[in-house]
Amino acid sequence: MASENEAPKSVSETTVIAVAKGGEAPASPKRKIALVTGITGQDGSYLTEFLLNKGYEVHGLIRRSSNFNTQRINHIYIDPHNAHKALMKLHYADLTDASSLRSWLDIILPDEVYNLAAQSHVAVSFEIPDYTADVVATGALRLLEAVRSHVAATGRSHIRYYQAGSSEMFGSTPPPQSESTPFHPRSPYAASKCAAHWYTVNYREAYGIFACNGILFNHESPRRGENFVTRKITRAVGRIKIGLQSKLFLGNLQASRDWGFAGDYVEAMWLMMQQETPDDYVVATEESHTVQEFLEVAFGYVGLNWKDHVVIDKRYFRPTEVDNLKGDASKAKQVLGWKPKVGFEQLVKMMVDEDIELANREKVLVDAGYMDAQQQP
Ligand code: NDP
Ligand code: GDR
């Protein structure tokens, strides 16, 4: 996706034109169609790969940015001019723009809608609370309302909706946390996710929409955003090992998280949408580790001692912290038949391995004078 000419092409430019001119046939009626918001994020990229492998046509809503924001999905992008091969299609929209959501539903006619888009950084939500609520809470409401009005206008009542809920909703409620654990959110992000959760329940009860909440605990991968703690650590491990960096500034090392692999978690999202009845599910590994334990495994894996490199910086502490998250995923195991495949140590090592490779590539650029060691691409 190198030029504006290759930027998202709408269905009206591909499918509809193809039909009108008697060109490529539209998707087979048997091929399921998914609409994914947040397709450019970590989960969006894994979910899209998963759905394409299942034979879906996947439509992703992306927001306009001043630079291309599709790095995580470039490897599965096929130019829409190859209409019969291009099963992932991208369209501009935004969760803050209700009209764009409704129009794309009417054009794409999806069978399944996955709402993954969010301002997803907890600490940042304290700095931009209003915007976070607009995207995370009201954004979900806008999409649910678009689904409701789309169903009312078209009669397409088989459409299914997935809401990306979060273990952050449990906040200060002690573990283990299951579907029946009360929410006590500790950030504007978490409070907004609670609102989105209850909007989803309400649209299911009020209008009979097949709407599910996935209450997912932290899940990571080599595609994790670089300002979340796991990736921040593994990026630093790679760069320190290669000699591009010496210090890593972090906040609270005592928080515990139930960390799984994102690739495993998108399967649980899909499984929820294949059930006979819509419901809410906790998705977790049922194992919890502190940030310090993550540091020990990540640095230890490459023969380094984290204590030689980590500096505590107060700026990374949050006004209210979530101390201890550990999920009880028995319902997902029993009803969905889901279980995680990647364990904690394997996840950490997978991320470190990829970030060592990345640091090696950066080193080549630094040595050739094309990049400053401080600069991270
Ligand atoms: P990311 O931050 O990696 O991705 C967020 C996505 O949302 C990006 O595609 C982003 O676009 C998009 N987005 C942000 N704002 C808007 C907007 N206003 N309109 C449209 N799109 C927008 O998150 P993850 O992939 O990690 O998480 C996916 C979802 O799951 C999120 O809702 C998150 O809150 C939730 N979640 C995540 C967990 C995790 O551990 N990863 C755990 C529990 C829940 P762009 O690329 O342009 O920034
Ligand atoms: P979290 O993830 O807040 O759980 O939200 P994050 O990786 O940001 O923080 C995890 C814990 O690490 C502590 N921490 C730091 N965090 C960051 N980001 N940067 C630091 O330097 C640092 N030092 C210590 C934090 O205080 C926290 O306790 C993620 C997001 O993906 C949400 O969208 C999602 O809903 C939840 O997981 C489940």
Task: Give pLDDT, residue 44.
Answer: 98
Residue located nearest, by CA, to atom 33 of ligand 2 = 120
Q: Which atom of ligand 1 is nearest to the CA of 120?
A: 34
Low-confidence ranges of the chain (pLDDT < 50): 1-27
Rounded to whole angstroms, the Cα distance separating 25 from 21 reads 10
Mutation choice for ligand 1 from 120, 136, 162, 232, CB with most ligand atoms inside 8 A:
120
Read off the pLDDT of residues 175-184 as tens digits, 9 standing for 90 and up: 999 999 999 9
Helices 229-242 and 344-367 sit at what angle, rounded to 10 degrees?
A: 50
What residues contact 113, with CB distance under 8 A and at least 6 apart?
A: 34, 35, 37, 105, 143, 147, 159, 160, 161, 162
Ligand 2 pocket: which residues have CB below 6 Å?
120, 122-123, 166-168, 217-218, 227-230, 232, 250-252, 255, 257, 291, 316, 318, 321
Read off the pLDDT of residues 302-319 as tens digits, 9 standing for 90 and up: 999 999 999 999 999 999
Residues forming a β-bridge with 213: 163, 280
pTM of the predicted model, to two decimals? Answer: 0.93
Instruction: Tell me which DSSP letter residue 113 carries.
Output: E
Task: Give pLDDT, residue 78.
Answer: 87
Task: Give pLDDT, residue 7.
Answer: 41
List b or e across 51-66, with b for residues whose CB sees 16 or more CB atoms inside 10 angstroms: beeeebbbbbbbbeee
Cα–Cα distances in angstroms (integers) from residue 204 to residues 145, 166, 229, 271, 340, in the given order: 11, 19, 35, 18, 28
Read off the pLDDT of residues 123-173 as tens digits, 9 standing for 90 and up: 999 999 999 999 999 999 999 999 999 999 999 999 999 999 999 999 999
DSSP conformation letters of 259-290: -EEHHHHHHHHHHHHTSSS--EEEE--S--EE
| C-beta of residue 150 within 8 angstroms of C-beta of residue 113 | no
CA angle 323, 324, 330 (to 5 degrees): 155
Q: Which atom of ligand 1 is nearest to the CA of 168?
A: 43
Rounded to whole angstroms, the Cα distance separating 61 from 135 reads 14
- In whole angstroms, how large is the CA radius of gyration of the chain? 21
**Domains of the chain as residue ranges with CATH:** 33-224+259-287+325-342 (3.40.50.720)
ipTM of this predicted structure: 0.99
Q: How far is CA 314 from the centre of its chain?
A: 27
Phi-psi region of 15 (alpha: psi -120 to 50; beta: other; left: phi over 0): alpha
Mutation choice for ligand 1 from 1, 37, 43, CB with most ligand atoms inside 8 A:
43
Task: Give the H/E segment covering residue 127.
Answer: helix 122-127
Task: Give the H/E segment covering residue 17.
Answer: helix 15-20
What residues contact 317, with CB distance under 8 A and at least 6 apart?
A: 251, 252
Evaluate: CB of 225 within 6 angstroms of ligand 1. yes
| C-beta of residue 38 within 8 angstroms of C-beta of residue 118 | yes
